């Protein structure tokens, strides 16, 4: 299922003295099966855009196409339940929304509301916990006795329990330590590869974009100012620096080597690519690698 934005605009509190245009003339496609990163400075409109992906808010101009459903200003709310099931959003610090006394009940909350019950409900809860790396021993435990990272996993399992085909992640590793960040990003990549889930990731970490995303959308002041493959977006490092968006660490390192006379065939975005490029250069110069 693709999600398409056609000339989408969004104004908060329209027709009031407080009207604020947060999105303007957005045209983009989130392709089924892709891993799309959305980057941009604070206030650029990322969260506003995310909420259009499952019609939590409706555009005040243009059309959002979610699969074959068209969402416009006039779309009635009653037709949107299925959309919200298909596109799951993990907001920042989702663990703050845990509320049930056991993990099993918390993860079951969404599917139960959609009429799933009995053995099927039990299975979907177990499967979802397994996807986030938590085994059955967690079922009866209270979510509030877990570490912050585990609580976040439980909250994510609650979204996965709805069996979404698109998973939207708003800064999902904020507040985690480096190991927790790495594990969680690995977990999303596995879900993407093994379950075929389309991922939309909002992040300010360019290394995560370089390591995982296959498409990048850059927002600024409510508009898309660049979009394309990570290679296309990151190769223009001068533009990125001017925009103060940050550059992947491997790319920065390669640039420093280039300033000292190294020549790269392609500019690396990840440490793996950097290692390969350096090995190539050393091989050419006759060093043993």
Residues of the shown chain interacting with ligand ATP in the complex, contacts defined by CB under 6 A: 12-13, 20, 22, 40, 42-48
CB of 23 to ligand ATP, least distance (A): 8
Which DSSP category does 93 fall into?
Answer: S
Closer of 48 and 150 to ligand ATP (Cβ): 48
Q: How far is the CB of 50 from ligand ATP (least distance, A)?
A: 8
Q: Between 46 and 163, whose beta carbon lies closer to ligand ATP?
A: 46
Bridge partners of 11? Answer: 21
Among 2, 58, 6, CA closest to 215 = 2
> In terms of CB distance, is 22 or 185 closer to ligand ATP?
22
Picking from 112, 196, 165, the residue whose alpha carbon sits closest to that of residue 1 is: 165
CA–CA dist 133, 142 (Å, integer): 17
Question: Nearest approach, Cβ of 137 to ligand ATP (angstroms)?
Answer: 36
DSSP string of 55-80, one letter each residue: TSS--SEEEEEETTEEE-TT--GGG-
* 38 Cβ neighbours under 8 A, 6+ residues apart: 46, 49, 50, 200, 201, 202, 203, 216, 217, 219
CA neighbor of 4 nearest in space, from 44, 47, 59, 53: 53
Give 51 or 237: the residue with its C-beta nearer to ligand ATP.
Answer: 51
Q: Which is nearer to ligand ATP, 42 or 244 (CB)?
A: 42
Between 10 and 138, whose beta carbon lies closer to ligand ATP? 10
What are the backbone angles phi and psi of residue 106, rounded to the nearest 5°?
A: -65, -45
Is the Cβ of residue 45 or residue 268 nearer to ligand ATP in the bound state? Answer: 45
- In angstroms, give the least distance from the CB of 107 to ligand ATP: 27
- Is the sign of the CA dihedral 261, 265, 271, 276 positive or negative? negative
Instruction: Tell me the C-alpha to C-alpha distance, in Å, between residue 259 and each of 237, 263, 287.
Output: 14, 9, 21
Least distance in angstroms from the C-beta of 53 to ligand ATP: 13
In the complex, the smallest distance separating the C-beta of residue 246 from ligand ATP, rounded to whole angstroms, is 14
Burial of 41 (0-12, 13-18, 19+ CB in 10 A): middle
Q: How far is the CB of 58 from ligand ATP (least distance, A)?
A: 14
């Amino acid at each position: 299922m693709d999600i398409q934005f056609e000339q989408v605009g969004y104004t908060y509190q329209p027709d009031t003295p407080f009207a604020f245009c947060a999105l303007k003339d957005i045209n983009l496609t989130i392709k089924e099966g892709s891993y799309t990163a959305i980057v941009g400075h604070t206030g650029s409109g990322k969260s506003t855009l995310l909420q259009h992906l499952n019609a939590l808010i409706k555009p005040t101009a243009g059309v959002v196409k979610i699969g074959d459903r068209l969402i416009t200003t006039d779309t009635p709310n009653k037709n949107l339940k299925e959309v919200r099931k298909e596109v799951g959003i993990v907001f920042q610090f989702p663990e703050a929304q845990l509320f049930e006394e056991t993990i099993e009940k918390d993860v079951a909350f969404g599917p139960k509301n959609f009429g799933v019950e009995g053995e099927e409900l039990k299975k979907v809860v177990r499967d979802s916990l397994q996807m986030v790396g938590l085994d059955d021993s967690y079922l009866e435990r209270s979510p509030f006795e877990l570490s912050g990272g585990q609580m976040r996993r439980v909250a994510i399992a609650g979204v996965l329990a709805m069996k979404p085909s698109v998973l939207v992640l708003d800064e999902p590793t904020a507040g985690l330590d480096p190991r927790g960040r790495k594990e969680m990003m690995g977990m999303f990549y596995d879900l993407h590869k093994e379950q075929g889930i389309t991922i939309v990731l909002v992040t300010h970490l360019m290394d995560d974009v370089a390591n995982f995303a296959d498409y990048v959308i850059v927002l600024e002041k409510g508009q898309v100012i660049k979009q394309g493959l990570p290679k296309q977006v990151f190769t223009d490092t001068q533009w990125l620096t001017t925009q103060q968006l940050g550059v992947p660490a491997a790319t920065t390192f390669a640039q420093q080597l280039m300033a000292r006379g190294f020549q790269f065939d392609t500019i690396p975005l990840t440490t793996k690519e950097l290692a390969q490029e350096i090995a190539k250069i050393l091989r050419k110069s006759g060093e043993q690698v």
